[in-house]
A and B are shown apart, each in its own frame.
Chain A
Amino acid sequence: MMTLAELPLRILPPAVLAARRPHRMLERQWIVNRRGGWMIVLTGFFEPLFYLLSIRIGFGGLVGDVTDGGRTMPYAEFVAPALFASSAMNGSIYEATNIFFKLKYEKTYDAVLATPMTSGDVALGEMLYATFRGALYSVAFLITMWALGMTASIWAIAMLPVAMLVSFAFSAVAIAGTTYMRTWADFEYVPSLMLPMFLFSATFYPLSSYGDWQWVVQLSPLYHGVAVVRGLNQGEWAWSYLAHVSVLVAMALWGLSVTARRIDHLLLK
């Protein structure tokens, strides 16, 4: 009988399980960013600021209160956590395009794999960096939310680890997808996946508004992130979080395992 703890061992390829040095990829990125690269972090502050301001100024007054899952809240408090989760998703997907560049043009990983580093180290390391970058944005976002009075509870702080999981899960899947990209033109498909996910993950109106089509919304991985952070912002704890988090964890494991295999396939021919 397999226990739950053994499950990742069954799913993940040996390359990931043998990963001992993923932090070296973070170290690499640290050296790269040391020379001015940290500007990208600063630019990360603007996105939430503009988003949240637009809601504060306009939508809030226009829409009034929203009822979601039996709880009524001001629209700003309803929508801000969803934007927070979306921003975690966006950040990690942007980072994935950098991976394409390093994989295809700069050939950064070829030389790395000639050392004791493995494809699992590279895959996990790059995902951790994407997550780290996403986390910095999330902190900025949360501070902005708080400053604009859009946090409803002290538990809003718990939204951060969830954002990190969202970042990791999306970066894992996005990087996995990136390994299948042949040219930059293939990236044209990315917005056609991201935009509907952004708009229809119960981001701007409650799940109940979708009527019979709620199951479609629940297929969106972003929805599961939104559901948890929205609840946490209200200081609410629910068993359903476990299910939502499981979806994100499954995504992360799947993306990680595909990426390690693909790096093996592409670079270790």
Chain B
Amino acid sequence: MSTTPLIVARGLVKRFGSFTAVDGIDVEVHRGESFGFLGPNGAGKSSTMRMIGCVSPRTDGELRIFDMDPATQGKQIRARIGVVPQADQLDEQLTVQDNLMLYGRYFDLPRAECRRRAAELLEFVQLTDRATSKIEPLSGGMKRRVTIARSLVNEPELLLLDEPTTGLDPQARHVLWDRLYRLKQRGVTLVLTTHYMDEAEQLCDRLVVMDGGRIVAEGSPRSLIEQHSTREVLELRYPAGTNEERAPDVAGIGDRSEVLPDRVLIYAHDGEAALAEVHARGSRPESALVRRSSLEDVFLRLTGRSLVD
């Protein structure tokens, strides 16, 4: 097996007129890895994904996928990747099954092979009973699963997922995560974008945090949390509108604190101990919650803003 990374980006830039969507990022993704781009809307994640998917030319910098250049070998690269775009882009004029079969034909697969894979993939995404349904009556979660099945029809080495679970209800998200986890186990390299912390923590071995077209941090979810946050977080809620003025009451407790419009966050190794000290100082928040630190905290720390607005 080759040791060349599947994706190498150096100083990758994407500009739309005077707007810079991706502002010189360096990324390497290795075979079998599950890699995430984490960031809020407008961070440049989708633009990066489209460049990797060879459907958007780069403005500047270097980009190689399977050690090929998307600018000149886009067709060969696209033949080996699977894409789950943000808006499913299913063919609404066709049935579920025909969507998969026709997609296989775009990759020049023989018809019989398309039929076999379509049946197998519908089984995989648990939609066999909807094979002859049109796309329109399907739920959001089902459409997403059809899109994932479609992206796998050419047995891709690299799967690109742009916000795979945005807009889905919790149950649908878990079904999807389970399927993606199985793909990961089969050795498919996953690259996904998300603005959900839990998703990144569940699915990514390694991720980069993007903000304003730049990478602000890189590492495994665990190492990022260790590096940029504390083990635990104490969340205090004071009556609406008074969080700001109560903050000084608890100043100095834990390693540091963050005052948000709706709550005060205290970063501490031991959340319970921090809460005990809050009470000892006579401060009475309406509610208090001790939780483990998450990527959300990392993002807040790195950019001063919360992730989902």
Contacts and interface: CB of A to CB of B under 8 A. Distances in A.
B87 interface: yes
Contacts of A111: 83, 85, 89-91, 103, 150
Nearest to A264: B57
Interface in A1-50: 18, 21, 24, 27-28, 31-32
Main secondary structure of the interface of A (DSSP, over half): loop
Interface in B73-111: 75-76, 78-79, 83, 85, 87, 89-94, 98, 101-103, 105-108
B257 interface: no
B56 interface: yes
A31 B103 contact: no
Contacts of B75: 18, 116, 118
Interface in B41-77: 50, 53, 55-57, 75-76
Contact of A32 (B87, B94, B101, B107): B94
A114 B87 contact: no
A106 B92 contact: yes
A115 interface: yes
Interface in B129-174: 150, 154
Contacts of A267: 55
B91 A268 contact: no
A113 B81 CA distance: 12
A21 B101 CA distance: 16
Contact of A114 (B78, B90, B94, B98): B78
B55 A268 contact: yes
Interface residues of B, number: 29
A28 B56 CA distance: 24
A106 B94 CA distance: 12
A268 B50 CA distance: 9
B108 A269 contact: no
Contacts of B103: 111, 115
A208 to B, nearest CB: 48
Contacts of B50: 269
A31 B104 CA distance: 14
A110 B108 CA distance: 18
Contacts of A106: 91-93
B55 A114 contact: yes
Contact of A21 (B55, B56, B92, B108): B108
Contact of B83 (A31, A114, A118, A268): A114
Nearest to B91: A108
Contact of B56 (A108, A118, A268): A268
A110 B85 CA distance: 9
A11 to B, nearest CB: 22
Contacts of B150: 111
Nearest to A102: B93
A186 B150 CA distance: 35
Most chain B beta carbons < 10 A, residue from A24, A31, A32, A112:
A31
A28 B107 contact: no
A269 B90 CA distance: 20
Given A31-B98, A31-B102, A115 B78 contact: yes
Interface string B204-215: 000000000000
Contact of A115 (B56, B90, B101, B107): B107
A28 B102 contact: yes
A116 B101 CA distance: 15
Contacts of A27: 102, 105
B106 A21 contact: yes
A264 to B, nearest CB: 9
Given A21-B108, A32-B94, A117-B106, A268 B85 contact: no
Contacts of B91: 28, 106, 108, 111
Given A31-B98, A111-B89, A116 B55 contact: no
Contacts of B102: 24, 27-28, 31
Contacts of A32: 93-94
A268 B55 CA distance: 5
B92 to A, nearest CB: 6
A217 B90 CA distance: 45
Given A31-B94, A268-B56, A116 B89 contact: no
Contacts of B98: 31
B106 A115 contact: yes
26 contacts: A24-B102, A24-B105, A27-B102, A27-B105, A28-B91, A31-B94, A31-B101, A32-B93, A106-B91, A108-B93, A111-B83, A111-B85, A111-B91, A111-B150, A114-B53, A114-B78, A115-B78, A115-B106, A115-B107, A116-B106, A116-B108, A117-B106, A267-B55, A268-B56, A268-B57, A269-B50
* Minimum-distance CB pairs A-B, first 9: A115-B106, A111-B89, A114-B83, A116-B75, A116-B79, A32-B93, A110-B89, A117-B106, A107-B89
Interface of B: 16, 50, 53, 55-57, 75-76, 78-79, 83, 85, 87, 89-94, 98, 101-103, 105-108, 150, 154
